[in-house]
């Protein structure tokens, strides 16, 4: 983050997305994503959660996440030098995706999947 901040011009923007930090805590055996957690929301900080995410063809892909809280994410931006409050959006399945494949995307309806963050130098 510090390198990104350093290389942005004044007024420059950095936009990025991350899997929503709550996902490992919503996942279950029957969900489209499943994580083996080691710890809770706070005690699991910096722990690696191994998991899988379902693909549309029925297969799964192995994934892992290093759990971070929103506090951790915002603190890393502050530590890098970003001083303006970031814009945050929680991303979910869209109406178009539900119309394209309700069977696959239906179980994900109304669940946070990713967060998109925009910060400015």
pLDDT digits 0-9 by tens, 5-43: 999 999 999 999 999 999 999 876 667 889 999 999 999
Distance CA 8, CA 79 (A): 15
Distance CA 38, CA 41 (A): 10
pLDDT in the model for residue 119: 97
Contacts of residue 49, defined as CB under 8 A and 6 or more positions apart, other chains included, come to: 24, 35, 36, 37, 38, 64, 65, 66, 67
Domain residue ranges in the chain:
2-120
Of 86, 89, 87, 43, nearest to 67 by C-alpha is 43
| Local structure of residue 94 (DSSP, 8 states) | -
């Amino acid at each position: 983050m510090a390198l990104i901040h350093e290389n942005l011009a004044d007024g420059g923007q950095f936009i990025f997305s991350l899997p929503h930090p709550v996902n490992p805590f919503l996942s279950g055996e029957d969900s489209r994503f499943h994580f083996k957690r080691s710890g809770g929301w706070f005690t699991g900080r910096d722990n690696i959660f191994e998991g899988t995410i379902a693909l549309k063809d029925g297969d799964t892909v192995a994934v892992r996440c290093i759990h971070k809280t929103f506090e951790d994410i915002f603190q890393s931006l502050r530590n890098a030098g970003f001083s303006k409050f970031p814009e945050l959006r929680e991303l979910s399945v869209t109406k178009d995706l539900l119309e394209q494949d309700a069977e696959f995307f239906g179980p994900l309806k109304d669940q946070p999947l990713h967060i998109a963050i925009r910060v400015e130098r």
